[in-house]
């Protein structure tokens, strides 16, 4: 159901400060800190990397340390330091892409491209697998994840039911529309399919009042709102059409949303997505801010933009660091 259509190009760029940019370096030679989470004490960021580990950043030491893994068959000898998303290594090592804490329980929920949905307690270690399919359809690869802090429900996206992560360019090329929005209820251990026929469902974020979730469609270059409550409950609507490919979406400090956009120059080659961009979007689909991050990320494809503690954290599958902008995006 189409409702509000807003073209990104119709909004002027709003300048905000990107000085005070620093890099939180990942353990060499790893890379791929695509998304983040912060625990109830404000510690972190926690991030998943290409070799299958989930790391936690310690401010005191200025370094990341191992926190959790998703694969019971993971071997440090085989996996540590690898940056290969092949199916063989992925099945053994895992590839965590979406993270979200339940702040009241301390549980960290993980969307893994190979291991499905899992959860790990506040002490870390090997996560417990919760689901690898829904309605009899195996997950292709999970990507976005958010936790409703009021209900404990976990919302997550399956990018495609057909392709694996290393074949994602083919899903884009063929306009694969098998993506899904899903909900996990920890009280019943049940996964419910909320929305189907999505084109590259890479990210999701729940509103502050829990009335809706936003879903980014990478392939379709748009953002969808799915209503959870109220007169529009169970109805979805396209709220924004973009001139680039949106990856992850995260709720920001004041209830609005931050979206990572990759504006293309080339075709299907990540290194030619030349304008990594952050936008701030309110619940009514008004773009409040827009900023190119090209100065710091050059042609690198970005994954997630998240605001925490007045700073802006930026992730990418193609860098060996987490980028931090202070003081972050400031509303005008």
Domain boundaries, the chain: 8-325
Superfamily designation of domain 8-325? TolB, C-terminal domain (2.120.10.30)
- The reported pLDDT for the residue numbered 44 is 97
- The reported pLDDT for the residue numbered 326 is 86
- The reported pLDDT for the residue numbered 10 is 35
Low-confidence ranges of the chain (pLDDT < 50): 1-18, 270-271, 329-332
Q: What is the dihedral of CA 167, 133, 156, 304, to 10 degrees?
A: -20
- Backbone φ, ψ for residue 119 (5° rounding): -145, 145
Local structure of 272: helix, strand or coil:
helix
Token pair listed for 272: 């030619």
What residues are paired with 138 via a beta bridge? 133
193: number of Cβ within 10 Å: 13
* Cα-based angle 274, 205, 89 (whole degrees, multiple of 5): 65
The whole model's pTM is what?
0.91
């Amino acid at each position: 159901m189409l409702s509000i259509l807003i073209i990104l190009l119709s909004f002027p760029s709003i300048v905000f400060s990107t000085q005070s940019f620093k890099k939180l370096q990942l353990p060499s030679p790893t890379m791929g800190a695509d998304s983040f989470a912060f625990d109830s004490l404000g510690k972190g960021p926690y991030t998943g990397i290409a070799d299958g580990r989930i790391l936690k950043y310690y401010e005191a030491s200025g370094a990341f340390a191992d926190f959790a893994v998703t694969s019971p068959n993971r071997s440090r000898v085989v996996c540590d330091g690898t940056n290969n998303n092949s199916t063989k290594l992925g099945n053994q090592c895992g590839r965590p892409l979406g993270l979200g804490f339940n702040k009241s329980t301390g549980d960290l929920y993980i969307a893994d491209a190979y291991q499905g949905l899992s959860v790990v307690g506040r002490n870390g270690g090997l996560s417990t697998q919760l689901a690898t399919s829904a309605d009899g359809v195996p997950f292709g690869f999970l990507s976005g994840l958010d936790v409703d802090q009021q209900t404990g429900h976990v919302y997550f996206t399956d990018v495609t039911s057909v392709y694996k992560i290393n074949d994602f360019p083919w899903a884009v090329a063929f306009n694969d529309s098998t993506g899904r929005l899903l909900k996990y209820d920890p009280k019943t251990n049940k996964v419910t399919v909320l929305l189907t026929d999505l084109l590259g469902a890479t990210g999701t974020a729940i509103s502050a009042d829990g009335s809706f979730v936003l879903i980014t469609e990478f392939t379709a270059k748009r953002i969808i709102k799915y209503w959870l409550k109220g007169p529009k409950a169970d109805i979805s609507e396209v709220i924004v059409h973009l001139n680039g490919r949106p990856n992850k979406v995260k709720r920001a400090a004041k209830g609005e949303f931050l979206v990572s956009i990759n504006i293309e120059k080339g075709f299907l080659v990540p290194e030619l997505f030349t304008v990594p961009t952050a936008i701030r979007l309110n619940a009514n689909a008004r773009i409040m801010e827009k900023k190119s991050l090209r100065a710091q990320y050059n042609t690198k494809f970005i994954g997630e933009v998240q605001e925490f503690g007045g700073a802006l954290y930026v992730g990418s599958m193609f860098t060996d660091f987490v980028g931090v902008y202070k003081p972050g995006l400031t509303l005008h």
